[in-house]
A and B are shown apart, each in its own frame.
Chain A
Amino acid sequence: MSAPSKVDKVLESYSFAKRDKLIPILQEVQAADGYISKPAALKVAKHLNIPASKVYGVATFYNQFRFKPVGKYHVMICRGTACHVKGSAGVLKMCEEVLGIKAGDTTRDGLFSIEVVACIGACGLAPVISVNGEFHAKVTPDKLRKLVDDLRKAEASNGK
C-alpha cells in the first residue's frame, strides 16, 4: 500500500459519516487536491456507500466543484447581478473564446482555467474578474483579451 493520499486523510476524519456529509467531504477534498479527481470521487462514493453517479450528480449540481486541476492562472469571472448589468456575459464569452475552453475547464497546457462565480463582493468595480486572487475592475472583453495576451507573452519569455 502506498502512503495515504490527501483524500484518504480527509476521509479518515469522516469515519462513520453518512451521505449527508457528502458536500463537506467534497469541499475538503477539493481544498486538498484543488479539484475533484475521478479516483477521489470513487473513494468518496465507496466511503459513504453511495453510487459514484450520485456523487458526480451532486458535485456537478454546484458551481463550486471542479473536475480538472486549476490552471497556473485561475480566472474567476463574476456573474453576479451588478456585473451582469455591466456586461459580464460578454467578458465570459470573450474569455471562453480566447482560451478555447468553457467555464469550469482548464486549458490543455495547464496555464489557464475559468471559473464562474455568483458574486465576488466588489459590485462597485463591476464587471470584475480575479486572476489568482488579484482583482481587475471594470473589465471589458478587449481588456480581458489584452490581459490574457500579456500573461501568455510573459509565460513564453519565461520559457526562453
Chain B
Amino acid sequence: MAEKLDMRGLSCPQPVFDTKKKIEAMGSGTLEVLVDSGTSRDNVTRLAENKGWSVSVKEQDGEFLLTLSK
C-alpha cells in the first residue's frame, strides 16, 4: 500500500516541502503525490529526482498523480 499526499490547491512551497519531509521520513518505498498545477508537478518531480527517487506522472482531468519510488 503506497503512502499518499494530497497537495491539490496548495501553493509553493508547501507541496515540495511536505513531499521532502515525507520522503525523508520514509527513506524508501512508494509515495503517491496528487497535485493540480504544472508548477507543483515540476517542483515535486525535481525534488524527488534530486533525492534519488524515480517519478512517474499520470495526468487526469487537469490533475497529476505523481508516483515516487525508491
Does A associate with B in a complex?
no
Interface residues of B (CB under 8 A from A): none
Interface residues of A (CB under 8 A from B): none
